[in-house]
Amino acid sequence: MPLFGGKKTLWNVKELSKYERQFDGSNIPPIFDMEKVTETQRQIDTLIRPNWEYIHPALQDYIAAWNESWNHLVREKETLDSELRQKNTLLSNLKANFETKLRELNNSIQSMKDDLQAKENELTQKGEFIKDLEAADKENKLGISDLREKLETRLNQLNQEMSQRQQKYENTQKQVGQAFQQKVLELDSEMMSLNEQLSEKEALVKEHAEKITTLQKENQRLQIYESKTKEYESKIQKYELKLNQIAEILEVEKEKSEEIE
């Protein structure tokens, strides 16, 4: 069965007989990043690169164009990877800052609670001391009852101030938490978008890599076909030469036979 099912090669297609190169630089084989291709692709590259000049210019243009498109997609993928890493770093920093701020707020609230408890203990002790004074000298008009009332009023004020401060810190903590959650949602949305773009680029890169591999395999088969064609032509020439020699010998023998007759 003839190679390629008996179809014409690119060199025998009429529309490509006068093809002019359209992709600048395709007269030399493209440079691949060997760390990013498979072992099979490296082996094919080793076979094709020394024979690049024998490939039809249209196929050279096609391979070079696909390679440039593939390289562009790889660069875009690397850019998306970098942006994704930056977003992950930013998100980690935000989480760390939020946790630090939350600990600071909790420490401040606890400190205020401790201060309030200390004030309450102090006022309780003063109240007990006042009670002792009142019991010791009820008839002495020292204004102890008024002092007790003032101390109780001050204690209520301190309790109220402490409650307001605690409410303020709790509101601040809630606002910080909401702002952090909103930022996390935004970053998650951006990361999701980047991942979708990355998946699309990876799919395109894979598709282009497969097409390049297919073209390289077709070119390898084409090289084999050309080699066999040249071999057949050489054998035909040898056969023709032998036939000519035999014909000459027969002609000489014929002449000798006629002379004898």
Which of the residues in the chain have pLDDT under 50? 1-4
Where along the chain do its domains lie?
51-260
Among 222, 218, 217, 225, which residue's Cα sits nearest to residue 43? 217
Which tokens go with 171? 């509101």
Among 228, 230, 215, which residue's Cα sits nearest to residue 26? 215
Q: How far apart are CA 89 and CA 71, in angstroms?
A: 27
Residue 147: its pLDDT value, please? 65
> Is residue 155 classed exposed, middle or buried when 0-12, 13-18 and 19+ CB atoms within 10 A define those classes?
middle
Q: How far apart are CA 161 and CA 152, in angstroms?
A: 14
Residue 20: its pLDDT value, please? 86
Residue 2: its pLDDT value, please? 40
Q: What is the pLDDT of residues 133-158, one digit of tens each?
A: 666 656 555 566 676 677 778 778 87
Q: How far apart are CA 63 and CA 21, in angstroms?
A: 12
Q: How far apart are CA 125 and CA 131, in angstroms?
A: 10
